[in-house]
Amino acid sequence: MSLSVTYDSTVTVEETLTGNAPFATSAKKKVTHDQFDTSTTLNAGSTPPATTFAAFQKALSSGTATIDLTSVTGTNGATVNFTGLKLQLVKIRNPATNANGSSKTFDLTGTAAQELDVYLVGG
């Protein structure tokens, strides 16, 4: 199986300063943080390599979930075993249809379709 993973993430944060810039007009009291962007393609020949893929849904039980990376459901229902491999990329999304309700969720984005991307740099 050949695998190529393209990952793009953009993060821009704009802060509006309050009282600590008294000699700047309100339009210029803004600080933009924009050096968080990540874009990469991973495959078997890249560093770090990407050789295996799995995507699945995992329901919480009593507010927790455990993912067994030795037995994950992959494409077409195939069992994927990540033993001996290093995790390169994780995307976690809390769907709007989450049956566990607000008592079991942590609001990551302030929206109904919550997402968390984690890119792990090899080293």
Are 103 and 109 in contact by the 8 Å Cβ rule? The answer is no
pLDDT tens-digit readout, 39-55: 889 999 998 888 999 88
Q: What is the pLDDT of residue 4?
A: 94
Question: Is 102 part of any domain?
Answer: yes
- 0.75 surpassed by pTM: no
Are 116 and 83 in contact by the 8 Å Cβ rule? The answer is no
Question: Is 81 part of any domain?
Answer: yes
Question: Is 25 part of any domain?
Answer: no
Q: What is the pLDDT of residue 13?
A: 93
Q: Residue 1 pLDDT more than 60?
A: yes
Question: Is 24 part of any domain?
Answer: no
Burial of 33 (0-12, 13-18, 19+ CB in 10 A): exposed
Question: Is 68 part of any domain?
Answer: yes
Structural domain including 68 reads 4-18+30-119
Distance CA 29, CA 16 (A): 6
Q: What domain count does the chain have?
A: 1
Distance CA 1, CA 12 (A): 36
DSSP class per residue in 20-40: T-TTS-GGG-EEEE----EEE
* Average of per-residue pLDDT across 86-114: 61
* Average of per-residue pLDDT across 58-79: 82
Distance CA 50, CA 86 (A): 9
Question: Is 23 part of any domain?
Answer: no
Question: Is 14 part of any domain?
Answer: yes
